[in-house]
Amino acid sequence: MEVVIVPGAEAGGELIAEAMAQLLRRKPDALLGVATGSTPLPIYEALAAKVDAGAVDVSRARIAQLDEYVGLPTDHPESYRSVLRREVLEPLGLDMAAFMGPDGAAADVQAACTAYDKALAEAGGVDLQLLGIGTDGHIGFNEPCSSLASRTRIKTLTEQTRVDNARFFEGDIAQVPHHVITQGIGTILEARHLVLLATGEGKADAVAATVEGPVAAVCPASALQLHPHATVVVDEAAASKLKLADYFRHTYANKPEWQGI
Ligand SMILES: N[C@@H]1[C@@H](O)[C@H](O)[C@@H](COP(=O)(O)O)O[C@@H]1O
């Protein structure tokens, strides 16, 4: 696992957007796994700016969804499909033909989950999966004690995650669904490159457990330690509880430039 400490969210967004641009220059039809939440927004803004500047062509890129609420109509403004259309696809000039995601409104949710795992594999697998992290260490919507081998499936949100996400539902927790579909941790680990961005002091404990704690289902993001190519990008605040912060700074500062993340 590589840990990169950046001065702030904007620098993290730029670093990761450049890694995505480099991937797309090598593989124009790369399958990009995208996450929701506030944290990845600087990545999407930086990537859209590169597209506008003609620095990268994303016209053949494919976009895969990480997780979704169950029970919200697909066109609900806070369904993750709507959020990703607004925050990722439209700014990049992509239409929904480039998009893959599970159907959170399906009558048979488990069948929709299984179908999504199959579709990801048939699409050749995710090339680069962006991840945020919940305050409890969740990735996607894999809450603590999710199986580290889990596949895409339905999960029940913790009260903490519903409280955290109520800000997207007019601050009204009653509107936040209890159930979600999420790529499983085993599914996520199949992506070729995992890139987790965490910013702000509120993520410092979760980041420390992810990077320096044991691999344990109680902190789902710690599963990144099992991946051969995982990059954790953190700002100073999110890095503030890392005991090895100086070591991470030193190794990144002395890395050959051509190597990228
Ligand atoms: N399902 C999403 C996660 O993918 C995201 O990482 C997390 C953190 O969101 P934020 O980046 O807004 O803190 O929120 C939700 O639970």
Cβ of 202 closer than 6 Å to ligand 1, yes or no, is: no
- pLDDT score, position 257: 84
- Is residue 133 included in any domain, yes or no? yes
Q: What is the pLDDT of residue 104?
A: 84
CB 200, CB 238: distance < 8 Å = yes
SS3 label, residue 104: coil
> pLDDT tens digits, residue range 64-114?
999 999 999 888 999 999 999 999 999 999 999 999 999 888 899 999 999
In a domain, 258, yes or no: no
The Å distance, Cα 62 to ligand 1 centre, comes to 21
* Domain count of the fold of the chain: 1
The answer to the question of residue 89 being in a domain is yes
Question: From residue 20, how far is each of 11, 167, 181 by CA, in Å?
Answer: 14, 29, 25
Ligand 1 midpoint to CA 67 (Å): 10
pLDDT at 96: 96
User: Is 102 within a domain?
Assistant: yes
156/106 Cα distance (integer angstroms): 17
Q: Could you tell me if residue 124 is inside a domain? A: yes
Q: Which domain holds residue 67?
A: 2-253
φ, ψ of residue 203 in degrees (nearest 5): -100, 0
Whether residue 259 lies inside any domain: the answer is: no
The answer, yes or no, to whether any atom of ligand 1 lies below 6 A from the CB of 103, is no
* 260 within domain boundaries: no
Residues in the chain predicted with pLDDT less than 70, given as ranges, are: none
Select from 160, 164, 207 the residue to mutate for testing ligand 1; criterion: most ligand atoms less than 8 Å from CB. Answer: 164
> Is 261 among the domain residues?
no
Q: How many CB atoms lie within 10 A of CB 206?
A: 24
pTM > 0.90: yes
CATH number at residue 118: 3.40.50.1360
> Considering only CA atoms, which of 91, 24, 70, 92 is closest in space to residue 81?
70
State the pLDDT at residue 103: 86
